[in-house]
Chains A and B, each alone.
Chain A
């Protein structure tokens, strides 16, 4: 177990936080780069699709780094993380579903998101929900 685990709420170490943030920044930069790349509209469909999903690669590394951290935690902290991720997954699913339903009912008119929610927003909701979920799950065992 990571001996530096906080007694009440497990935070990743500074080095690990840097690594996690680095992967998110890499994904954001790749996403922005592929969106604003000059003349990308003229590329072939396959090339455009491949480039559009490039930000997934750093996000896979993000998940790998996070999973490694969770594996290093003790059994109670792992249970807390499991609950927190379940909470985050459910919150993200419900949030995106609600936005979709409101858009279908024309209650919410988000013209810039009519082709789907931006991944940055969905990812952000998931991270915030994970933090809330971690706090809730951790309080249960305090």
Chain B
């Protein structure tokens, strides 16, 4: 699954640690999602989308 998490995070000038704190996950989780080594659960994906005030498909996509 592809995602635009890194772009969205850098737009806000947040570090991975700051984003991790806002989402209540570890920095490793944010890094694994950004590098596409890990696909988040649906609740976490919705939480990310809500945090950035974007529809979920703007953040995560299953198309290359």
Known: A75-B40, A76-B38. A142 touches B28 (CB 8 A): yes
A6 to B20, CA, bound (A): 12
A128 to B24, CA, bound (A): 29
CB-based contact B37/A7 at 8 Å:
no
Q: How many A-B pairs fall under 8 Å by CB?
A: 44
The interface size of chain B toward A, counting residues with CB under 8 Å, comes to: 15
The interface size of chain A toward B, counting residues with CB under 8 Å, comes to: 17
Known: A76-B29, A142-B31. A1 touches B24 (CB 8 A): yes
| Contacting residue for A5 out of B26, B38, B40, CB 8 A | B26
Q: Footprint of B on A, CB under 8 Å?
A: 1, 3, 5-8, 10, 73-77, 79, 138, 140-142
**Further pairs besides A75-B29, A77-B26, A142-B28: 15, Cβ < 8 Å:** A1-B26, A5-B26, A7-B28, A8-B28, A74-B25, A74-B29, A75-B25, A75-B40, A75-B41, A76-B25, A76-B28, A138-B28, A141-B29, A141-B32, A141-B37
